[in-house]
Amino acid sequence: MEAFGEIFQYILSGFSTGAIYALIGFGFAVIYNSTGIINFAQGEFVMLGGLATIFFINMNFPLPVSVIFAIATATLTGVVFERLAIRPLKNATPLNLVLITIGASILIRGGAMLMWGKDTHVLPSFSGSDPIYIADATILPQHLWIFSITVLIIAASRMFFNRSITGKAMRACAYNREAAGLVGIDVKKMVLFSFIISSAIGSLAGIIIAPLTMSSYDVGVMLGLKGFCAAIIGGMSNGAGTVIGGLLLGILESLGAGFISASYKDAIAFIILLLILFFRPEGIFRKDETERV
Amino acid sequence: MLEIRGMTKKFGGLIALDDVSMSVGKGSITGIIGPNGAGKTTLFNIVTGLYTRSSGEVYLEGTDVSGYAPENLARLGLVRTFQNVELFGRMTVLENVMVGLHTRSRSGIFSCSLKWPTHIMEEKRIRDEAMQRLEFTGMTGIADIPAGSLPFGMGRRLEIARALAPGPKIMLMDEPAAGLNSRETLDLADLIRKIRDAGTTVVLVEHDMELVMDVCETIVVLNLGRKLAEGAPREIQENPAVIAAYLGEE
Amino acid sequence: MTEAKRDILGFLLFAAAVLIAPFFFADSYILNVLVFVGINTLLAVALNLLLGFAGQISLGHAAFFGLGAYISGVMTAAHSFDPWLAMLIAAVSTGVAAFIIGFPILKLKGHYLAMATLGFGIIVYIVFNETVDLTGGPSGLPGIPNLSLGEFSFDNDIKNFYLIWAFTLLAMRISLNLYRSRIGRALRAIHDSEVAARVAGVNVKNLKVQIFTMSAVISALAGSLYAHTMTFISPASFGFNFSVELVTMVIIGGLGSVYGSFMGAAILTLLPEFLRIFHDYDIIVYGLLLILIIMFMPGGLAGGFRTALERLSRSRKQGAD
């Protein structure tokens, strides 16, 4: 019974980190699907979300206002990045795109370090930190925030991609950019939109997890990579695949940390990443499509 | 020389090739024509090992080579050119042709790194051979220019020179006249005949009917993934099914 | 003058300049920096084989550097192996590891290859940190002996300078040989058009793994040399940031250019030394350099020099006409 309680606890906490990975992975997928770019700077938006919120709170803005300002800061960064580095790039080979997004991630991280130093900062929980008991396990109110915001975001973006004209246009770009351009969709605008959505969601993920993990200028690297891992498990989808990928990763990581070794927790995510890339690079849900060379 | 039996290719639900069979005689020039989407390039991509097939076989001089990787087919003497000209843009014209001689040389990573005497001798040999190929295709003067800076027609010629470099048994050309002006197309016809006379069997996919009727001895017509007709140029021109297929497209 | 002669002459001049450099910089501080320029050049040259020649990115090359350093370090410091033997074992075992992981990893392309190599690098980095009993963990591994030949020990900067540059010059010469050879052409062909390379008969899969392995072995040698020169190593030197720094060196110098790799390595090693004020912020400068070079100078410094020279000779010709 005790073991069961333990497992339940691990799964619960895995769920909440998994939800975060799913949100970050979602950001990867949105940009990848409309541009074919894996944005290595994705994690930096997450970092910006957390640190900027703390910054605005320290300037005595109330939490909701700080959150909005922080999202705006990250989104603005995303827009500037797209405008200055992605759009003008002439020779957009995959290699150059990898390097330019890495360059941007270094730059954003460096900027954050200049601005907020190397120390870790703490964002207080949104509504206290008295644990809530569920069966043998406990969760924090912040976990509930994480779950509900994740569900909300995923639901909202499903609506957006399935119902709204802009969302549909972005999906069209994902299927076939040239054809989308031919039927009159402004592909460049869709690319910009994808950066906006992705940086906004990324920063939100960073904000809701900040009370649990502490924030510093370099948290984006790991979080970003794990978000990518979630997206890869889910086959780079704009929808459920990435969510399941994130939850799966979060739970595996949490169980691995609990039963195998806490110090190798981070390694677990990367071993999963390698295994997926080696054996099922199209994700674990998608059926094998006829390969094209 | 080359025989294709019952070749079928499905992309998801779409049938790109449906039970296509054909054979190419040694020393011949064969044309494959058909409206857009007929499956010509798909057929080439399967025969040269770039796509996997759903079913069907390919025989090269009687040996079953179905599913062989492109590099192994190259070793057996099957080469190709591409519709969009795939050159090594940052390498010189001469170096491009020297890569074409890859299968005719054997120095490995160690002898190359250490400049082993065998490698130096081989290097001289393939350099000379590559120069000969450039002469054959009339490109001697531009050996040291980066391939990426060539005008399109020249690039096409270089791609042919590179494919010819190892002295292949059979060469598949994917729309060799696309993007060429009429003058260049005439030169191309001469070049194709010259290649055949030098002992390489030629198969080409082409839209330029004048060129096809001019150089090909046998023509295979594909339509919607199936073989519609096969025969000499005159027969094809008079074949009602072929005429219907082409008119239907317009 | 033929291409081959120009190649040899250029290399001899470069080697001569390197060999006499210590006479001009008797100052031990600068000499020490030049030792690091040597190690970083060795690493950049190794990465250039993969990234510059074959066009395959690795964001995990610091791992191979680290494997070389740690295998040498642990074997000599904790188990008193002969340093040269340890170095050999480090190079061979890193090579074997690279060969095995090379097949699945190099099937991937572009962004996915970048992510997979990055993941590999981070796993290795975590192992360095967590196997405390073996590596000493985050606080590092001290007491690694210097290399020596009989009684002659490489225990100061000037000796290490010549030791390391001997390896670096050798690696540069090998790279230059390879560039203009059957294998070098095949690798560059893969870079420009993988499909066309295959159709021309290049066994792309095998060749990628071969060059990946060679690159890893040279990186491991650099790691061993680093360990025996520093006599102390810690995981921080072999993390993701250093992998990115290596890639930046190759890009700044110019993809495929051996001398470019030297220039990139020299600049990134010297820059933080000269810009002391930047201390912690040198990483920002890398980020900016990376973006600017990719956007405005795709051929790197080597490419820039070449176009400048061409323009110069063209304008001269025009002037003469």
pLDDT over 50 (residue A230): yes
pLDDT over 70 (residue A292): no
Of C55, C109, C119, the CB nearest to A274: C119
**pLDDT (mean) for C184-200:** 96
Q: Are C148 and C231 in contact (CB under 8 A)?
A: no
For residue A66, give the amino acid letter: S
Closest residue on chain C to B74 (Cα)? C201
Contact call for A106 and C290, based on CB within 8 A: yes
User: Beta partners for A132?
Assistant: A139
pLDDT over 60 (residue A289): no
Asked if residue B159 is part of any domain, the answer here is: no
**pLDDT (mean) for A38-56:** 94
Do B178 and B219 sit in the same domain of this protein?
A: yes
Asked if residue C28 is part of any domain, the answer here is: yes
Contact call for B71 and C204, based on CB within 8 A: yes
pLDDT over 70 (residue A2): no
Contact call for A100 and C295, based on CB within 8 A: yes
Contact call for A99 and C290, based on CB within 8 A: yes
Of C118, C126, C283, the CB nearest to A110: C283
Predicted pLDDT at B220: 94
**CB distance from A290 to chain B under 8 Å?**
yes
Closest residue on chain C to A221 (Cα)? C240
Interface of B with A (CB under 8 A): 10-12, 45, 50-52
Distance from CA of B237 to the nearest CA of C (A): 33
Predicted pLDDT at C5: 87
Asked if residue B236 is part of any domain, the answer here is: yes
User: Beta partners for A137?
Assistant: A134
User: Which of B188-202, C92-106, C293-307 has the least mean pLDDT?
Assistant: C293-307
**CA nearest C48: which of C167, C161, C162, C178?**
C178
Q: Contacts of residue C192 in chain B, CB cutoff 8 Å?
A: 87-91
Asked if residue C205 is part of any domain, the answer here is: yes
For chain C, the chains sharing at least 3 beta-carbon pairs closer than 8 angstroms are A, B
The band of A50, judged by pLDDT with boundaries at 50, 70 and 90, is very high
Rounded to the nearest 10 degrees, the angle between the axes of helix A94-116 and helix C240-253 is 120
Distance from CA of B233 to the nearest CA of A (A): 33
Contact call for C114 and A104, based on CB within 8 A: no
Asked if residue A278 is part of any domain, the answer here is: no
Distance from CA of B226 to the nearest CA of A (A): 20
What is the phi/psi pair of residue B32, to 5°? -115, 120
**CA nearest C201: which of B102, A38, B112?**
B102
**Which one of C294, C296, C297 makes the best mutation probe of the A interface by having the most chain A beta carbons within 10 Å?**
C294
- Written as six digits, the tokens of A130 are 């008295």
Distance from CA of A189 to the nearest CA of B (A): 29
**CA nearest C249: which of C14, C43, C18, C30?**
C43
Q: Are C264 and C251 in contact (CB under 8 A)?
A: yes
For chain B, the chains sharing at least 3 beta-carbon pairs closer than 8 angstroms are A, C
Asked if residue A248 is part of any domain, the answer here is: no
Could you read off the pLDDT of B178-231 as tens digits, one per residue?
A: 888 889 899 999 999 999 999 999 999 998 888 999 999 999 999 888 999 899
pLDDT over 60 (residue A1): no
Closest residue on chain A to B46 (Cα)? A293
- Digit-by-digit pLDDT tens for chain B (250 residues) are 899 999 999 887 788 899 999 999 999 999 999 888 888 989 999 999 999 999 999 999 999 999 999 999 999 999 999 998 999 999 999 999 999 999 999 999 999 999 899 999 999 999 999 999 898 888 888 999 999 999 998 999 999 999 999 999 999 999 999 888 889 899 999 999 999 999 999 999 998 888 999 999 999 999 888 999 899 998 988 888 888 887 665 4
Distance from CA of B67 to the nearest CA of A (A): 14
Q: Contacts of residue B51 in chain A, CB cutoff 8 Å?
A: 291-293
Predicted pLDDT at A13: 85
Could you read off the pLDDT of A160-218 as tens digits, one per residue?
A: 888 888 888 888 887 777 788 888 888 888 889 999 999 999 999 999 999 888 888 88
Q: Contacts of residue A95 in chain C, CB cutoff 8 Å?
A: 55, 57, 110
Q: How far apart are the first and last CA of chain C?
A: 24
Distance separating alpha carbons of residues B181 and A257, to the nearest angstrom: 67
Asked if residue C172 is part of any domain, the answer here is: yes
Predicted pLDDT at A108: 92
**Which one of B51, B53, B68, B90 makes the best mutation probe of the A interface by having the most chain A beta carbons within 10 Å?**
B51
**CB distance from A289 to chain B under 8 Å?**
yes
Q: How far apart are the first and last CA of chain A?
A: 53
**CB distance from A91 to chain B under 8 Å?**
no
Closest residue on chain A to C124 (Cα)? A267
Predicted pLDDT at B250: 44
Q: Contacts of residue A292 in chain B, CB cutoff 8 Å?
A: 51
**CA nearest A197: which of A213, A218, A174, A179?**
A174
The domain containing residue A175 runs over which residues? 35-123+141-217
Do B240 and B175 sit in the same domain of this protein?
A: yes
Q: Contacts of residue A290 in chain B, CB cutoff 8 Å?
A: 10-12, 52
Residue A214 CB neighbours (<10 A): 15
**CA nearest C208: which of C103, C110, C100?**
C103
Distance from CA of B16 to the nearest CA of A (A): 12
**CB distance from C170 to chain A under 8 Å?**
no
Could you read off the pLDDT of C253-282 as tens digits, one per residue?
A: 999 999 999 999 999 898 877 766 666 677
Q: Contacts of residue C202 in chain B, CB cutoff 8 Å?
A: 71, 99, 102
Q: Are A98 and A38 in contact (CB under 8 A)?
A: yes
**Higher-confidence position of A131 and C82:** C82
Q: Contacts of residue C11 in chain B, CB cutoff 8 Å?
A: none
Could you read off the pLDDT of A100-122 as tens digits, one per residue?
A: 999 999 999 988 988 888 888 88
Interface of C with B (CB under 8 A): 174, 177-178, 181-186, 188-189, 191-193, 195-204, 210-211, 214, 256
- Written as six digits, the tokens of A42 are 């994705």
**pLDDT (mean) for C86-99:** 97
Distance separating alpha carbons of residues C183 and B154, to the nearest angstrom: 26
Predicted pLDDT at C241: 87
Predicted pLDDT at A290: 35
**CB distance from C114 to chain A under 8 Å?**
yes
Distance from CA of C274 to the nearest CA of B (A): 35
Distance separating alpha carbons of residues A101 and B213, to the nearest angstrom: 52
pLDDT over 90 (residue C250): yes
Residue listed under structure tokens 């739970």: A251
Of C115, C251, C280, the CB nearest to A38: C115
Q: Contacts of residue A291 in chain B, CB cutoff 8 Å?
A: 51-52
Contact call for C183 and B107, based on CB within 8 A: yes
Asked if residue A41 is part of any domain, the answer here is: yes
Q: Work out how many domains chain B is built from and give that number.
A: 2
Contact call for A290 and B45, based on CB within 8 A: no
**CA nearest A106: which of C195, C194, C125, C242?**
C242
Q: Phi/psi zone of residue A276: left (φ > 0), alpha (ψ -120 to 50 degrees), beta?
A: alpha
**CB distance from A293 to chain B under 8 Å?**
yes
Predicted pLDDT at C3: 78
**CA nearest C53: which of C192, C161, C149?**
C192
Asked if residue C96 is part of any domain, the answer here is: yes
**pLDDT (mean) for C177-185:** 95
Q: Contacts of residue A105 in chain C, CB cutoff 8 Å?
A: 287
Of B91, B105, B166, the CB nearest to C182: B105
**CB distance from C251 to chain A under 8 Å?**
yes
**Higher-confidence position of A249 and C283:** A249
For residue B180, give the amino acid letter: L
For residue C45, give the amino acid letter: V
Q: Are C52 and C175 in contact (CB under 8 A)?
A: no
CB pairs under 8 A between A and B: 11
Q: Work out how many domains chain C is built from and give that number.
A: 1
- The Cα-based distances of A143 to A18, A132, B60, C305 in angstroms read 11, 10, 65, 57
**CA nearest B81: which of B180, B177, B146, B150?**
B177
Predicted pLDDT at C188: 97
Asked if residue B193 is part of any domain, the answer here is: no
Question: Quick one: C310 exposed, middle or buried, by C-beta within 10 A (0-12, 13-18, 19+)?
Answer: exposed
Could you read off the pLDDT of A53-98 as tens digits, one per residue?
A: 999 999 999 999 999 999 999 999 999 999 998 888 877 788 888 8
Asked if residue B199 is part of any domain, the answer here is: no
Predicted pLDDT at B12: 76
Give the contacts of C157 (CB within 8 A, at least 6 positions apart).
C28, C31, C32, C35
Contact call for C201 and B71, based on CB within 8 A: yes
**pLDDT (mean) for C153-179:** 94
What ranges make up the beta strands (E) of chain B?
A: 2-11, 14-24, 29-33, 55-60, 63-64, 78-81, 170-174, 201-205, 218-223, 226-231
Asked if residue B191 is part of any domain, the answer here is: no
Q: DSSP alpha helices (H): ranges in chain C?
A: 3-24, 28-48, 61-73, 83-105, 110-130, 132-135, 157-179, 182-192, 194-199, 204-230, 240-253, 258-274, 282-296, 300-320
The domain containing residue C29 runs over which residues? 3-239
Q: Work out how many domains chain A is built from and give that number.
A: 1
Distance separating alpha carbons of residues A229 and A28, to the nearest angstrom: 10
Contact call for A293 and B12, based on CB within 8 A: no
pLDDT over 80 (residue C216): yes
Asked if residue C300 is part of any domain, the answer here is: no
Q: How far apart are the first and last CA of chain B?
A: 35
The domain containing residue B250 runs over which residues? 1-40+49-59+70-77+169-183+208-250
Q: Contacts of residue B49 in chain C, CB cutoff 8 Å?
A: 198
**CB distance from A232 to chain C under 8 Å?**
yes
Contact call for B90 and C204, based on CB within 8 A: no
Asked if residue B28 is part of any domain, the answer here is: yes
Asked if residue C247 is part of any domain, the answer here is: no
Asked if residue C264 is part of any domain, the answer here is: no
- Written as six digits, the tokens of B76 are 């057996």
